[in-house]
Amino acid sequence: MVDPFLLLILSSPSGAGKTTLTRKLQERFPALRFSVSHTTRSPRANEVDGKDYHFVDRKSFDDLVEKDAFVEWAHVHENCYGTSRAEIDRARAERGCSGMIFDVDYQGARQIRAKQPDAVAVFILPPSMTELERRLRGRASESDEVVRRRFAAAQIEIEHYGFFDYLVVNDDIEGAFKHLEGIVLAERSRRFRRADLAERLLRGGKL
């Protein structure tokens, strides 16, 4: 039995734990493909081009916007980020791929949902603003100034929680992961995603 195709959007203020949780989700659900975004931000020390992001300069990014290559794109923390259409088309065409995970900000979440209304949107909350700041600083991948700006933007990002279907608190990582796992399993069982199974049975077929 094939799992239904699921578009899962994960958003949060920077440092709340999206990347960490996305990696765990992919280990648990290897058939969920991570949507590799394009960005004009410089790579962090541990990031790999083509795996974490497609790192491009501003001119290349603007050319892609001009060609309408993005399903969504936005300015986030003074850089540009975008999800390419080709990324979703490839996943849909790939045998054995049961959906995609999008790590995007609230602007991207809105744009994806406008075009793909059945996408599921999850917002990750930090347990406190103090802990968020600690995690941002602890990641030690950005300058003090960048950390300060990202922390200042967190309030505005959290204010957009009302758009999302689910809110998950990332206090203890295993606890947060269990909630996310539960969301994927429940969403896969939604009637509109599984109606074909009942219809197949009714026609005398097997599941």
**Residues of the shown chain interacting with ligand 5GP in the complex, contacts defined by CB under 6 A:** 11, 14, 37, 41, 72, 74, 76-77, 81-83, 103-105, 107-108
Partner from ligand ADP, ligand 5GP, none binding residue 108, C-beta < 5-8 Å depending on class:
ligand 5GP
Handedness of CA 134, 35, 33, 183 (dihedral sign): positive
d(C-alpha 187, C-alpha 180), whole Å: 11
Partner that binds at residue 135, options ligand ADP, ligand 5GP, none, CB closer than 5 to 8 Å by kind: ligand ADP
CA 204, CA 207: separation in Å to the nearest integer?
10
DSSP 8-state symbol, 3: P
Amino acid identity of residue 93, one-letter, is A
* Nearest residue (CB) to ligand ADP, 46 versus 57: 46
Which C-beta is closer to ligand 5GP: that of 4 or that of 22?
22
Contact status, residue 141 vs residue 14, Cβ threshold 8 Å: no
Which residues inside 10-39 make contact with ligand ADP, applying CB under 6 A? 12, 14-20
Binding mask 150-179 for ligand ADP (x = CB under 6 A): --------------------x-xx------
Amino acid at 74: A
20's contact among ligand 5GP, ligand ADP, none, with CB below 5 to 8 A by partner kind, is ligand ADP
List, in sequence order, every residue forming a beta bridge with 25; answer none if it has no partner: none
Site string for ligand ADP, 114-143 (x = CB under 6 A): ---------------------x--xx----
In whole angstroms, what is the distance from residue 181 CA to residue 29 CA? 9
Cα dihedral across residues 153, 154, 159, 161: positive or negative: positive
Q: Which residues bind ligand ADP (CB under 6 A)?
A: 12, 14-20, 135, 138-139, 170, 172-173
